[in-house]
Structure 1
Amino acid sequence: MLNTTTDDRRPSLARRAALTLAGAAALAGLVGAYAPNSAYAEPGSAPIESATDFSDCPALPAGVDPARWRCEVHTAAPRLTLGKVTVDLAPITMTHAEGPMPDGTAGQVWGAMHSAPTAVPGGLTGTEAGEHTRRLPLAIKPEYGGRSDFYTGQFSLRFRLSSPLLTHGCTVGASAPVDFRLKRSGPSEWVSQDPPVIKFSAYDDTFTAPAAEHCGPLTGPLDRRLGLPAASGNLMTYDATYTFRMYDHLPVA
């Protein structure tokens, strides 16, 4: 359990969370009700979308040639160090389209992103595994941040934080998403030619992690628990595979 601060008027996250939980239990008889569930799944337990599912392929810009545009679906198993917390995120599946615009420039269109919450080791208070951690879980879920450039490896994410004691909408990167500039760890590898399946690894150790926002009265203690904001020491490693299909070969909806 985290120690309290030297100022007794500013208790630690563990103490404030315990007091909040006790008060809620007294009112509603909920002591022991916060058991783990699917929203706080252990790392690696979330299902993964099929890498051959092209249902999220976006509509193409007007005037382009579908035979020269391809829909790419890639699935990654990211490992994230954000502040002082490291977690193996649930698999992420992203879909986008790319190809030449009518003027010859390179074009891209975002499709969709899917993932699931992953339990943060130590839970909301940073305690070791045990009853208190089970009652005070903390989960993190990556969400699309609104910017992507798959030609250069740049994209942005927000990280939704969820726990019984945090308000809905608690997010790292709520006001300004976390921007990643992935660098390849080595050459790509063709796993299969038909269907095309390519494997690659990438990483980014230069991004800045902002403070959490919209988390209610535990926002400050939560930031101290996670070590946020963090200008350095953050890391995303990214092992992924992707497949593609040309738009003139996609199934007609």
Structure 2
Amino acid sequence: MQITTDKRPSAVRHGAAGIAFAAVLAAATVTATGVAGAAGAAGPAPSYDFGDCPALPAGVDAARWKCEVLTATGSLTLGSRTLPELAPMTITHAEGPLPDGAAGQVWGALRGGPTDVPGGILGVPAGHPNPRLGRLSLQPEYGGRSDFYSVGDDMGLFTLRFRAIGPALPDGCVIGAGETPIEIRLKRTGKSQWVSKNPPVIKFDARDDTFTAPAATGCGPLGRLLNDRLGLPSATGNSIALSAHYTFKTYDQLPPRA
């Protein structure tokens, strides 16, 4: 269980404590009279699974803790390669007040499938008779640190690593391994929209084009080729743009844990 405590000044901490980051943005940008119109414009909401909700810290009030589930699609530019359609990602975490009144968070899970890199590790052009030759895909994984309390349009941070997957690559081939994960600091773009009030579902867009991307490591003899192909390491030009749906339940609404 990863438990973090918000260390910001009390005026900020207590203003955000127990309030999900997307809900903060929605409350600031969607008025009560505009909910119906915004919901119609936002389109249908995805279904949600609360199975990754983490166990709560000892001594907290379950009714004041929320399990938050975010599903997102989007695009990624990493080094010199752009993946225009990322496989969907789901991020689950919990937040609420700790027994001492500080704002606490517990990480749940990140789930996301692999996304093929156009051209693969060899740069095979479109229309090649063997399009799977040198196939390469990137799969996101949690990097070990997160802070989802938001301030204004700044939506906190979470860290990612990307596992490089291909027939000729070992299992340990990773971009952002160990102590050098990729730090994503999303900033909301545009207005949040209520898709549904019951259950609460909010749609928003966010991006980050300020992060650095380290070289892949643990890739065996093809490591240099892989990094050259992806243009890694890369200090600038990296970006991630997400279109996300977000929902939550308080822990007293969730089934008892076994």
Q: Residues of 2 paired with 1:187 and 1:101: CA distance?
A: 31
The residue correspondences of 1:99-178 to structure 2 (distance < 5 A) are 99-129=96-126, 130-152=128-150, 153-175=156-178, 176-178=180-182
Paired residues of 1:51 and 1:243 also in contact (CA < 8 A): no
1:59, distance to aligned residue in structure 2 (A): 0.7
Structure 1 stretches lacking a partner, 5+ long: 1-49
The aligned counterpart of 1:5 is none
Distance 2:191 2:99 in 1: 31
Q: 1:205 corresponds to which residue?
A: 209
Q: Distance in 1 between matches of 2:114 and 2:254?
A: 31
Query: Which one has a bigger Cα radius of gyration?
Result: 1
After superposition, residues 18-37 of structure 1 pair within 5 angstroms as none
Q: Which segments of structure 1 move beyond 2 Å, counting only runs of 4 or more?
A: none
- Deviation track 1:90-140 (CA, whole Å, cap 9, x = no partner) reads 000011111111122111100111111111101111121223432221011
Q: Is the 8 A contact 1:96 1:110 kept in 2?
A: yes
Match of 1:240 among 240, 244, 249: 244
Q: TM-score, normalised by structure 2?
A: 0.76
Corresponding residue number in structure 1 for 2:235: 231
Question: What is the SS of the residue equivalent to 1:58?
Answer: coil
The higher relative CO (CA closer than 8 Å, separation ≥ 6) is in 2
Per-residue deviation at 1:187? 2.5
Number of the residue aligned with 2:69: 73
- Is the contact made by 1:66 and 1:246 (CA closer than 8 Å) also made in structure 2? yes
- Unaligned regions of 5+ residues in structure 2, if any? 1-45, 151-155
CA RMSD in angstroms comes to 1.2
| Paired residues of 1:51 and 1:74 also in contact (CA < 8 A) | no
Question: What is the number of residues matched between the two proteins?
Answer: 204
Same amino acid, percent of matched pairs: 61
Q: Whole-Å Cα distance in 1 between the matches of residues 174 and 131 of structure 2?
A: 21
The residue aligned with 1:83 is 79
- Tell me, in whole angstroms, the C-alpha distance in 2 between the residues paired with 1:51 and 1:121: 30
**Secondary structure of 2:131's aligned partner:** helix
Distance in 2 of aligned mates of 1:146 and 1:51: 26
The 1:99–1:58 alpha-carbon spacing in structure 2 relative to 1, beyond 3 Å, is same
2:26 paired with 1:53: no
TM-score by length of structure 1 reads 0.78
1:94 matches 2:97: no
